Structures are given as C-alpha cells and as structure tokens.
C-alpha cells in the first residue's frame, strides 16, 4: 500500500484560491520496508555463559497467525497475533549460534499471510540488545558488517543466513579484522555462518557478495564503548541492510538521559567517500573504511556517496548514567516512513524512549498512539528545517502516523540497554541516478497531478522510492510505482497554467516550470498527452536537470515567498 502526505496551507489574498495538497495513492504491491510476510533471523553468541534468552516480538495491523520454524532444530510452532498488539515469543535456547567459522543450522524462519513487524531480542542479565528484523523481499546480495573492536569481554562478530539453497557467499575480510576469514562459503536455506575476530580486531567493513539474497547480522559479544576501559560491556547486534538501501543524508539525535554525547560510526561502500557533519568536512573514506565521531547535539550528516551510519550508546561510566552500550542503525532521511507499529519490551527495563524526527511544519500532524506529541518536547536540528523529540514510552505496542518521520526505540536498566530503528523503508535509494520531472501536469477532475520518475544507471525505473515534491508553496510526497513514477496531486480550482515544481530523492533534484498537459482532439477530449521530450521517463516528460541541493536547502522558504509574489502579480495582471 502506498501513502502520500501533503501540507495544507491557509488561503490568503495573495495565494491560490484553492491550491491545497491532497496527495495520491499509488498501488503497486507490497512496499519495500521493514514490514513483511517472510523473515530469516538468527541469534549470534551473547556474553560468555549459557544464561541468554532469545525472543521475537511480533505486531501487525490486522489479526494473523504467525508460523515460526527452525528447520535445523526440527522446531515448528504457530502464534496468534491480534491487530495492534505486540506478542512476545520465547525461542529455544539452542537457537544461539556458538560455532564460528563453520556452518550451523540455526536460521529462524517467520512467516505470516499478512504483513508483520518483527524484532529480535538477545537478552542476558547485564548484556542485552535488540534488532529490527528485515523481511526477505528487501534482502540483497551485497552487504558490509558494522560491529565494534574486540576486548577482554568478547569478540566482534557477524552472522550470515541463507534464504535459498546453494547460495555462495564471497567474504572479503575487513582491514580491521586481526584474524580474518577470507574465503567463499556455500549455504543452503536456513543455514548460518558466524565469524569472530580476535584480540582487539573488528569485523566492521567486512564485505559480503552473495549469489542469492542473504541476511547479515553483525555486532559484538559484549562490547565496551567507547573504550575498553569504559564499564560495562553489553551485547550489541543489528541486522544490516543491503548496500542498495544505504543513503546519503542522515539526521542524528542524542539519546535521552545521556550527558556527554553518543558515539557514531560512518561506513563507506565506495572509495573516496566524503563525510560532512553539519556542513563541515569530517573525512574521506575508502571502501570498507569507517570513521568515528562523538556527537553531543542533534546533527545533519551528509555524504557524497551512500554510507551506513550507526549510533552507539556509551557505557555507564562514560557519563555515570544508569545505562549500557547498544548499537542502533540510523536510516537515511530518504528511507523515512509515514506510519509505524513498534514495541518497547514489556519487562526488564526501567525506562523506554522513542526519538522522533520530523519536518518542523509537520510536527503537529504526528500522532503517537493516536495522540499528538506535546509541542514542548520538540527541539530544532541545526542547519535543517527538522525537529526531534525524545518521548518516554510505556512498555508494549505503539504506533506513529500522520507525517513522514524517522523513529528510534531504546531503553535502559542497571548495566543493561537495547536500541533499534523503529522501522524504515528499504527501497533502492542508493541505486537512484536520475530524478526526471515530467514537464506537464494532468488535470483529474478538480486536481492538478504532477509526476516524476526515478531510475538507475540503466534507466530502469525503481519502485517504492519516496519522491518529495514542492509545488509552489505546497509540499508532499509519494512513493514510485513499478515503473518508477511517483505522482502528487493538489486541489486547484483557480490555478494558473504554469507551476514551479521540484521533485527530490535525497540529494538528487529535478526542478522547473510545469504546464498543463494538452488534450488530444482525436480522442474526443479524453486522452491526455504528457511530455514532449525524448530523454527518458514513463509516459514522456523530462527535460529538467538534477541539482545537488536536496531537501535540506535553507533557501526554500524564500523561494516559496518569491513564488507567492510572482503568482499574485500574474493574477493581478490578468
């Protein structure tokens, strides 16, 4: 199901009499996001001992029965999941993968007739972390691991799970791994392969190239963060997205209660990747390299090539706050969604939070559990037109809707913690090479509909990519269909014949003047002829160039004011 959002403006003497965002829904099958009907999860080894418990949390928008199987353990069960509730399911302890540099049979398959959201929890007293499960339809064939350097309390590790038989996986070891595994392995469906580094080695930057989609989970048995002398260690893990879902623009926010900032890592998949923090060049990375930064305030991260970003909670003694380390991947702005169902653990943590990031003029539209978020909770993110809030959560199931936003869920207890992104889109935003704005709009009854197409290097239309539109003063978004075309409609009664339109995906932008489409006389007035250029697109159109200003351009409000004045002059002259 596709969703569109728009901003409603008050009518003024200078503005269009009836130019109001209404959006458009584009139906094109299941969305490429963290909700799905089939998952392959796995659980790497926790801190030394045999006390860890492994569970999954399941939630859905409609009632369903979820099947849970571990083929290698001959385990099969089913659990009912009521609509809007979160169900915790405890897995057998034998699911933990302990054998490393060898193949195991510990893959966990989760299937449902309707879409569900799945979180994995690897819990041991004083050593816990959780991760967001990624469904099979968004898994890929190229990944990089994100972990932490080894210590006396455990090793950096990754875990690969196959979704198809006879899957070959080429493993290119990290330059930081002191005991690298450099080989090609073959896995059948549900089989797993785990590797651990040694001494103070780190698996971060390990590259995986597979012949079929695989799941990759990476982290650490029990990491001391930010240094080996920071107490106390904690298990960390995340299911990493394929490189096709990486992005270039990130909004990061501080964790509630922490006093001295959080640690971040930025990992590159291509050579000569430049990283900027709040507009200042932070460094240039080669493929598989990462940089590390302590940030105390909400910040805007930008890269000229797709990167993976991770936020780490520091150990308790770093700032004397009751907490512990965890890793939490940060989705790029391009992968934010407009609705979420998520959960906070029902036991074991004294405090739970969700950090919410949203555009400042959309904050009032957000609904957390069907209630508006208190405006005083929001703070600005410097150098952007975005705000964030740190909202306390009760244990259990929650929902967020009303506007495109990013969410991050985490919690603390004495020498324990967890954190994970509350959900994200996983469309191929890293593959987008062109944003093409159609140079004519179509009138559909009382709506003016504007279109843009996103494509890759081979001009292949990319589905389910969120395209952000700015139409004079109106802004909104839509997700592209199977042909890569997104459409956003506004209600326009007394509209001019020409609009200034901007369509963006991250840093890629197409903008220009869009005029009303011509109606073919031969069709009896019913056929709309769109576009007039032969430079690609679906249904014609194009001719607008790409820029690099993206959605974080601080001059947008000024552009909108000038556009409003120009419209008023044109109407007065008429």
Q: Judge contact between 58 and 117, C-beta under 8 A.
A: yes
Look at residue 310 and give its three-state secondary structure: strand
> pLDDT at position 569, please?
37
> pLDDT at position 529, please?
33
Q: Which tens digit of pLDDT belongs to each residue from 7-64?
A: 222 222 223 333 334 443 333 456 899 999 999 999 999 987 667 899 999 999 999 9
Phi-psi group of 151: left, alpha or beta (phi > 0 → left; psi -120 to 50 → alpha; rest → beta): beta
- Domain end call among 421, 442, 462: 421
- Alpha-carbon gap, residue 363 to 310, rounded angstroms: 25
Same domain, 490 and 564: yes
- Alpha-carbon gap, residue 406 to 421, rounded angstroms: 8
Same domain, 404 and 512: no
Same domain, 357 and 481: no
Domain, as residue range, for 77: 36-421
Cis peptide before 232 (omega within 30 of 0): yes
Q: Which tens digit of pLDDT belongs to each residue from 156-186?
A: 999 999 999 999 999 999 999 999 999 999 9
Same domain, 369 and 449: no
The residues that bridge with 400 in the sheet, in sequence order, are 340, 368
Strands (E), 461-547: 466-471, 474-479, 485-491, 498-505, 508-516, 518-520, 527-529, 546-547
- Alpha-carbon gap, residue 235 to 223, rounded angstroms: 6
- Alpha-carbon gap, residue 357 to 354, rounded angstroms: 10
pTM: 0.86
Largest interatomic CA distance in the chain? 80
Percent residues over pLDDT 70 in the chain: 84
- Alpha-carbon gap, residue 149 to 160, rounded angstroms: 19
Same domain, 452 and 493: yes
Q: Which tens digit of pLDDT belongs to each residue from 68-88?
A: 999 999 999 999 999 988 999
Q: Judge contact between 477 and 5, C-beta under 8 A.
A: yes
H or E stretch including 571? Answer: helix 556-573
Domain total of the chain: 2
Residue 11 burial by CB count (10 A; 0-12/13-18/19+): exposed, middle or buried?
exposed
Tell me the backbone φ, ψ of residue 329, rounded to 5 degrees.
Answer: -70, 145
Look at residue 158 and give its three-state secondary structure: strand
The residues that bridge with 284 in the sheet, in sequence order, are 274
Q: Who's near 50: CB < 8 A, 6+ residues apart?
A: 93
> pLDDT at position 99, please?
93
Instruction: Single out the residue of 145, 178, 428 nearest to residue 289, CA to CA.
Output: 145
Same domain, 387 and 460: no
Same domain, 283 and 210: yes
- Domain end call among 402, 421, 440: 421
- Alpha-carbon gap, residue 339 to 331, rounded angstroms: 15
Same domain, 14 and 125: no
Instruction: Single out the residue of 446, 447, 517, 538 nearest to residue 488, CA to CA.
Output: 447
Q: Judge contact between 8 and 30, C-beta under 8 A.
A: no
> pLDDT at position 175, please?
97
What are the helix and strand counts (H, E) for the chain? Answer: 2, 45
Same domain, 147 and 43: yes
Helices assigned H by DSSP within 259-325:
316-319
Residue 66 burial by CB count (10 A; 0-12/13-18/19+): exposed, middle or buried?
buried
Same domain, 413 and 318: yes
- Domain end call among 421, 438, 458: 421
**Mean per-residue pLDDT pooled into runs of 10, the chain (574 residues):** 31 30 43 96 86 92 97 97 94 95 97 97 90 98 97 92 98 96 96 95 98 98 91 94 97 96 98 98 98 98 97 94 94 96 89 97 96 98 96 94 97 91 96 95 88 97 96 91 95 72 95 76 36 35 35 39 38 39
Same domain, 308 and 389: yes
């Amino acid at each position: 199901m596709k969703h569109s959002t728009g901003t409603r403006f008050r009518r003024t003497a200078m503005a269009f009499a009836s130019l109001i965002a209404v959006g458009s829904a584009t139906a094109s099958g299941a969305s490429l996001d963290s909700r799905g009907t089939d998952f392959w999860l796995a659980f790497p080894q926790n801190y030394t001992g045999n006390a860890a418990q492994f569970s999954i949390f399941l939630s859905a928008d409609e009632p369903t029965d979820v099947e849970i199987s571990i083929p290698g353990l001959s385990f099969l069960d089913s659990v009912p999941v009521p609509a809007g509730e979160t169900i915790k399911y405890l897995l057998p302890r034998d699911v933990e993968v302990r054998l490393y540099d060898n193949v195991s049979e510990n893959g966990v398959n989760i299937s449902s007739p309707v879409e569900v959201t799945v979180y994995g929890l690897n819990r041991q007293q004083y050593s816990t972390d959780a991760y967001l499960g990624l469904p099979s339809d968004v898994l890929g064939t190229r990944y990089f691991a994100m972990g932490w350097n080894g210590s006396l309390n455990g090793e950096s590790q990754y875990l690969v799970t196959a979704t198809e038989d006879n899957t070959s996986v080429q493993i290119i070891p990290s330059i930081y791994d002191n005991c690298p595994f450099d080989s090609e392995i073959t896995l059948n469906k549900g089989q797993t392969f785990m590797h651990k580094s040694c001494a103070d080695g780190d698996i971060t930057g390990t590259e995986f190239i597979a012949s079929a989609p695989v799941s990759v989970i990476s982290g650490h048995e029990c990491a001391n963060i930010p240094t080996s002398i920071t107490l106390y260690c904690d298990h960390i893990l995340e299911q990493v997205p394929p490189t096709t879902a990486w992005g270039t623009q990130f909004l990061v926010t501080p964790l509630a209660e922490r006093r001295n900032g959080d640690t971040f890592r930025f990992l590159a998949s291509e050579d000569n990747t430049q990283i900027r923090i709040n507009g200042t060049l932070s460094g240039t990375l080669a493929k598989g390299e990462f940089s590390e930064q302590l940030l105390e305030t909400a910040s805007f991260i930008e890269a000229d090539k797709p990167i993976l970003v991770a936020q780490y909670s520091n150990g308790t003694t770093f700032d004397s706050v009751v907490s512990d380390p965890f890793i939490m991947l940060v989705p790029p702005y391009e992968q934010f969604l407009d609705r979420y169902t998520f959960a906070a653990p029902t036991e074991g943590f004294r405090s739970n939070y969700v950090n919410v990031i949203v555009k400042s003029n959309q904050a009032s539209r957000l609904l957390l559990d069907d209630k508006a978020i208190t405006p005083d909770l929001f703070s600005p993110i410097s150098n952007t037109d975005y705000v964030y809030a740190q909202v306390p959560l009760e244990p259990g199931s929650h929902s967020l809707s009303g506007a495109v936003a990013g969410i991050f869920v985490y919690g603390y207890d004495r020498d324990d913690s967890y954190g994970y992104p509350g959900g994200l889109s996983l469309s191929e935003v890293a593959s987008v090479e062109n944003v093409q704005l159609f140079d004519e709009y179509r009138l559909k009854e009382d709506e003016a509909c504007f279109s843009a197409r996103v494509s890759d290097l081979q001009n292949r239309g990319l589905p389910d990519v969120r395209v952000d539109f700015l139409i004079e003063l109106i802004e909104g978004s839509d997700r592209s269909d199977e042909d890569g075309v997104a459409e956003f409609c506004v209600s326009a009664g007394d509209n001019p014949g020409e609009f200034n339109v901007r369509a963006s995906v991250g840093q890629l932008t197409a903008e220009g003047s869009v005029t009303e489409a011509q109606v073919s006389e031969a069709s009896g007035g019913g056929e709309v002829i769109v576009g007039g250029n032969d430079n690609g697109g679906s249904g014609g159109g194009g001719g607008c160039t790409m820029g690099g200003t993206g959605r974080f351009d601080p001059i947008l409000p000024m552009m909108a004011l000038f556009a409003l004045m120009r419209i008023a002059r044109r109407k007065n002259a008429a």
